[in-house]
């Protein structure tokens, strides 16, 4: 969430930013609650001081009746004020949590995703001299995909992946881990992007698949709740992406500046209800309740946060290009970047079977919006403390990556060309 002091000093800008992001909130109401809260806090401090002074008077000997009566009045008034303060605190906190992060200066202003900006298009969309198929047709024909039996076992939007498709998925995983664990490769990508950032490698992570309510909420990724799966008896949720459980792993910790940046790449099976998408993208594995993803997460100093975001975008472009996939880069507008995000970039890969670009990657820069509630701080060399900044970004959503590989690499005989970067991870094979 935002610092209340920043909101007090920039009330009009915060209100305008909320409107541009599409959030119907009142900064005036929040500041009114804040004023009342601060007055009550002052009154509580005064009453506690009076209580302590009065208690000191009654020590030793027989207390004066006036002191006893005064003590009773102080206790009653303090109790009433504390109850009022607790009620105000809840309202104030709810209003503060509803305020979205400030959009970065270069984020396009727009009222919907239709006003996102295509920053660039990379690669040439393939042409075919045969009738092309979509990934579902190819995968089912080759025996790689069985949704009918999955529906029998778990319901719609689940699938059994089989055979070479499974091997392809884990080839991508190993390729990404090898790439992001190599400082020389990080340095190469950063240099090409013109970024002056450390070449520190990403640490591979297999995170928990569940997250506690308070941390999911602190990450500001719990909503919309109707798109999440909850384990009611345990007050746990199935995470919707690996960054949810990597971004929260340093809650209530202080990280020495010398350790930054902390960079992680996590592999997780993730879960979403896909609420509101009934009947949409039902064919194949594009939109599933259960899916596997590789996600990047990092913690930096505030001054390094934006360049870290740009590094993750450069990594995404490198990964897509290295697999020979045509793609476009989308700069998301204010209404589409999301509540906790200061900036957001999407990558859309070309899917011949749909004759359109579809989102495969997203990169989000949150500044200190998450770490304020998570209480994730850094200790400067001079000993001072401040909040760390966070970034997260997709390395690959495995299902969508395989869709793009299958559809762009399909051949007339039903086989699929394997991108050269992945061939060594599949025993040197060139086709599936």
Asked whether the predicted pLDDT for residue 360 surpasses 90, the reply is: yes
Asked if residue 33 lies in contact with residue 88, where contact means CB atoms within 8 angstroms, the answer is: yes
Residue 342 has a pLDDT of: 98
Beta bridge pairs of residue 385: 379
Residue 241 lies in a domain: yes
Q: Give CA separation, 182 vs 36, 187, 415, in Å.
A: 54, 9, 32
CATH of the domain at 34: 1.10.287.40
What pLDDT digit, counting tens, does each position of 30-48 carry?
A: 999 999 999 999 999 999 9
Does one domain contain both 27 and 76? yes
Please give the Cα distance from 182 to 47 (Å, whole number): 60
Asked if residue 207 lies in contact with residue 244, where contact means CB atoms within 8 angstroms, the answer is: no
Does one domain contain both 227 and 283? yes
Half-sphere CA count of 216, side-chain side, radius 13 A: 21
Does one domain contain both 76 and 124? no
**Average pLDDT of the chain, as a whole number:** 95
Q: Enumerate the H helices of 237-330 as residue ranges.
A: 242-246, 305-322
Does one domain contain both 210 and 124? yes
Beta strand pairing call for 290-300 and 262-271: antiparallel
| pLDDT interval class at 127 (50, 70, 90) | very high
Does one domain contain both 138 and 214? yes
Q: Give the total number of structural domains in the chain.
A: 2
Residue 162 has a pLDDT of: 96
Residue 281 has a pLDDT of: 77
Residue 58 has a pLDDT of: 77
Q: Give CA separation, 37 vs 76, 88, 203, in Å.
A: 19, 6, 43
Q: What are the strands of the beta sheet with 254-256, ordered from one edge? A: 254-256, 377-379, 385-387
Upstream peptide bond of 224 is cis (omega within 30 degrees of 0)? yes
Q: Tell me the whole-structure pTM to 2 decimals.
A: 0.93
Does one domain contain both 62 and 175? no
- What is the distance of C-alpha 3 from the center of its chain? 20
Of 97, 128, 150, the domain-final residue: 97
Residue 239 has a pLDDT of: 96
Residue 61 has a pLDDT of: 66
Residue 432 lies in a domain: no
Token pair, residue 72, equals 């009773």
For 64-78, what is the mean pLDDT? 86
Of 32, 63, 97, the domain-final residue: 97
Does one domain contain both 323 and 365? yes
What pLDDT digit, counting tens, does each position of 135-161 carry?
A: 999 999 999 999 999 999 999 999 999
Does one domain contain both 377 and 270? yes
Does one domain contain both 93 and 118? no
CATH of the domain at 222: 3.30.930.10
| pLDDT interval class at 52 (50, 70, 90) | confident
| pLDDT interval class at 257 (50, 70, 90) | very high
Give the structural domain span for 315: 113-426
Residue 274 has a pLDDT of: 87
| pLDDT interval class at 60 (50, 70, 90) | low
Beta bridge pairs of residue 290: 271
Q: What is the DSSP letter of 60?
A: S
Residue 60 lies in a domain: yes
Does one domain contain both 73 and 198? no
For 218-235, what is the mean pLDDT? 93
Q: What is the dihedral of CA 326, 240, 259, 382, to 10 degrees?
A: 120
Beta bridge pairs of residue 292: 269
For 200-217, what is the mean pLDDT? 97
Residue 179 lies in a domain: yes
Phi and psi (nearest 5°) for 118?
-75, 110
- 258-267, 277-286, 401-410: range with lowest mean pLDDT: 277-286
Largest CA distance in the chain: 104
Asked whether the predicted pLDDT for residue 339 surpasses 90, the reply is: yes
With H, G, I as helix, E, B as strand and everything else as coil, classify residue 53: helix
Does one domain contain both 222 and 84? no
CA-based torsion, 60, 62, 67, 72: positive or negative: positive
Asked if residue 215 lies in contact with residue 251, where contact means CB atoms within 8 angstroms, the answer is: yes
Asked whether the predicted pLDDT for residue 220 surpasses 90, the reply is: yes
- The residues near 12 (Cβ < 8 Å, ≥ 6 apart) are none
Please give the Cα distance from 240 to 83 (Å, whole number): 37
Residue 91 lies in a domain: yes
In DSSP notation, 187-226 reads HHHHHHTT-----PPPEEE---SEEEHHHHHHTT---SGG
Asked whether the predicted pLDDT for residue 275 surpasses 80, the reply is: no
For 72-99, what is the mean pLDDT? 94
Does one domain contain both 15 and 64? yes
Token pair, residue 256, equals 């020495």
Residue 56 has a pLDDT of: 81
For 173-178, what is the mean pLDDT? 98
Residue 23 lies in a domain: yes
Residue 183 has a pLDDT of: 98
Q: What is the DSSP letter of 181?
A: T
Closest CA to 301 of 198, 389, 200: 389
Residue 417 lies in a domain: yes
Residue 237 lies in a domain: yes
Beta bridge pairs of residue 274: none
Of 72, 97, 122, the domain-final residue: 97
Asked whether the predicted pLDDT for residue 327 surpasses 70, the reply is: yes
Please give the Cα distance from 246 to 127 (Å, whole number): 40
In the block, which residue shows the tokens 């529906």? 151
């Amino acid at each position: 969430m935002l610092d209340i002091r920043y909101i007090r000093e920039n009330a009009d800008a915060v209100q305008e930013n909320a409107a541009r992001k599409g959030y119907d909130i009142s900064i005036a109401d929040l500041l009114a609650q804040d004023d009342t809260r601060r007055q009550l806090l002052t009154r509580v401090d005064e009453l506690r001081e009076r209580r302590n002074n009065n208690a000191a008077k009654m020590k030793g000997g027989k207390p004066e009746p006036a002191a006893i009566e005064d003590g009773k009045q102080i206790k009653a008034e303090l109790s009433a004020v504390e109850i009022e303060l607790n009620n105000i605190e809840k309202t104030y906190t709810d209003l503060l949590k509803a305020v979205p992060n400030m959009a970065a200066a270069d984020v396009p202003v727009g009222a919907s995703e239709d006003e996102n900006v295509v920053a660039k298009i990379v690669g040439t969309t393939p042409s075919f001299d045969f009738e092309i198929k979509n990934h579902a047709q190819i995968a089912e024909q080759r025996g790689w995909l069985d949704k009918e039996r999955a529906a029998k076992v778990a319901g719609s939007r689940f699938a059994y992946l089989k055979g070479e498709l499974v091997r392809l998925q884990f080839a991508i995983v190993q390729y990404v881990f090898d790439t992001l664990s190599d400082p020389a490769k990080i340095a190469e990508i950063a240099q090409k992007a013109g970024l002056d950032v450390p070449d520190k490698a990403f640490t591979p992570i297999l995170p928990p698949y569940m997250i506690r309510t308070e941390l999911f909420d602190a990450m500001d990724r719990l909503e919309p709740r109707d798109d999440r799966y909850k384990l009611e008896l345990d007050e746990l949720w199935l995470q919707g992406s690996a960054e949810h459980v990597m971004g929260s792993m340093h809650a209530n910790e202080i990280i020495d500046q010398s350790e930054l940046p902390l960079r992680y790449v996590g592999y997780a099976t993730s879960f979403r209800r896909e609420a509101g998408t009934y009947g949409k993208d039902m064919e194949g594995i594009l939109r599933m309740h259960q899916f596997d993803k590789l996600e990047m997460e990092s913690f930096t100093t505030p001054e390094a946060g934006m360049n870290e975001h740009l590094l993750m975008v450069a990594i995404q472009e490198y990964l897509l290009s290295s697999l020979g996939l045509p793609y476009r880069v989308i700069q998301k507008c204010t209404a589409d970047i999301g509540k906790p995000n200061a900036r957001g970039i999407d990558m859309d890969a070309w899917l011949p079977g749909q004759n359109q670009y579809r989102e495969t990657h997203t990169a989000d820069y949150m500044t200190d919006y998450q770490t304020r509630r998570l209480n994730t701080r850094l200790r400067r060399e001079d000993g001072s403390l401040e909040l760390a900044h966070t970034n997260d970004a997709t390395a690959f959503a495995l299902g969508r990556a395989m869709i793009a590989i299958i559809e762009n690499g399909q051949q007339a005989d039903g086989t699929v060309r394997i991108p050269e970067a992945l061939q060594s991870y599949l025993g040197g094979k060139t086709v599936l």
